[in-house]
Amino acid sequence: MSLFSFWHQELAIDLGTANTVIYHNGQIVLDEPSIVAVDNSSGKCIAIGQRAKLMHEKVYPGIRTIRPLRDGVIADFNAAEMMIRGFIRQVNSKHRSLFTPNLKIVVGIPSGSTEVEIRAVRDSTEHAGGRDVYMIYEPMASALGIGLNVEAPQGNMVVDIGGGTAEIAVISLGGIVVQESIKTAGDEFTADIQQYMRQQHNIRIGEITAEKIKIAVGAVLPDLDEEPEPYTINGPNLMTAHPVEATITHQEIAHCLDRSIAKIETSIMHVLENTPPELYTDIVSEGIYLSGGGALLRGLAKRLTDKINIPFHVANDPLHAVGRGTCEALKNTDRFSFLIR
């Protein structure tokens, strides 16, 4: 490693509501849940990432776990700063040095972010050690990560369903032509599952169990080519508090997520209605690309294709599409005019 690389370091950060992914030299060096555990009396950070997630919904009153990002934006400024600082320190711990490196950072943010929210991300990143901070809208990062030529004079459409927001955008000539950012995404799906379990099975479950159900049997169509095995959970009965067991099928999850998926369909249609005709023609011929954790829901591409009559394609490794695109933007900060400084 050269002496210069100790002084100057470049990081691409996908600051997600559910997970934070950091790239260095084109490689993932950190992929952790976006969560912080804090001591209530001192306000000090006890744990971040996976260690903090293990404590989530399991801690005594003296410790609380915080998810600093809600709906894709920073909801708790201090916790966000602690988390970003801690993650950067973890990355730098592999290259210990007497000097603090000069950090150049590109961060992905939702396309619907306000000026205040953009400033909150910039300030948190700068306070955590970033000297040269750029931001990129998540749909643009997603398109780059998928491998689309965002600077070409043709229309590309991406639907990025993350933890806090679903980002729908039409991109052409290095800019976002039409976009919509809605708060119906992974967290909403988790809440839907929790509510369904209360209403239909009379069981109270936490976020983590609902997340496990979503991963194990999450689907948006009752009829699938490859059906997942039913998933069994345990929890307290709402009326008696006695332990009960329930077996959940993908058909049940498809039913309970139906309303939320319908909201995403409506937003996609709204973006298409506002797309210029020439770009619309490109989208029909090329199809629409799905990325983010929500793209992993079984049957989503088929349901959207049938509903909207345009082919939908799930990106390779959709969870890391935004991170890969942020990494691509980091290599081209001088060239890409769509980066926000």
Reported as a single tens digit per residue, the pLDDT across 186-213 is 999 999 999 999 999 999 999 999 999 9
Which of 59, 104, 79, 60 has its CA nearest to residue 17? 79
CB 330 within 8 A of CB 8: no
Closest among 193, 194, 162, 156 to 175, alpha carbons compared = 156
Residue that is written with structure tokens 């099928």 in the block? 249
Q: Please, are residues 268 and 288 in contact by the beta-carbon 8 Å criterion?
A: yes
- Angle at alpha carbon of residue 334, lines to 333 and 335, rounded to 5°: 95
3-state secondary structure of 96: coil
Distances in Å between the alpha carbon of 104 and those of 7, 89, 285?
Answer: 11, 14, 38
Q: Between 7 and 147, name the one with better pLDDT.
A: 147
pLDDT tens-digit map of 214-247 = 999 999 999 999 999 999 999 999 999 899 999 9
Please say whether the dihedral angle defined by the alpha carbons of residues 223, 196, 320 and 70, taken in this order, is positive or negative. positive
Q: Check: pTM over 0.85? Answer yes or no.
A: yes
Q: From residue 213, how far is each of 17, 256, 300 by CA, in Å?
A: 19, 12, 17
Domains of the chain in start order, with CATH, are 3-140+323-331 (3.30.420.40)
Query: Which residue, 289, 216, 202, is CA-closest to 248?
Result: 216
Q: CA separation (Å) from 259 to 126, 182, 193, 255, 281?
A: 40, 14, 12, 8, 29
* Inter-residue contact 169 to 139 (CB < 8 Å): yes
Average pLDDT across the chain, whole number: 90
Query: What is the C-alpha R_g of the chain?
Result: 21
Give the whole-angstrom CA distance, residue 221 versus residue 251: 7
- pLDDT at residue 6 is higher than 70: no
**Burial status of residue 172 (CB atoms within 10 A of its CB: 0-12, 13-18, 19 or more):** buried
Q: Is 148 helix (H, G, I), strand (E, B) or coil?
A: coil
Which tokens sit at 258? 């139906």
Measured between alpha carbons, how far is 223 from 227 in angstroms, rounded to an integer? 8
| pLDDT at 128 (0 to 100) | 81
- Which tokens is 340 given? 């926000």
3-state secondary structure of 286: helix
Which residue in 83, 21, 98 sits closest to 47, CA to CA? Answer: 83
Closest by CA position to 119, among listed 82, 80, 91, 89: 80
Give me the pLDDT at residue 57, please.
Answer: 82
Which residue type, as a one-letter code, is found at position 215?
Answer: I
Secondary structure class of 38 (helix, strand, coil): strand
Report CA-CA distances (Å) from 269 to 22, 27, 274, 285, 314. Answer: 33, 36, 9, 17, 18
In this predicted model, what pLDDT tens digit does every residue of 318-332 receive, in sequence order? 999 999 999 999 998
The model's confidence at residue 4, banded by pLDDT at 50, 70 and 90, is: very low
- The band of 100, judged by pLDDT with boundaries at 50, 70 and 90, is low
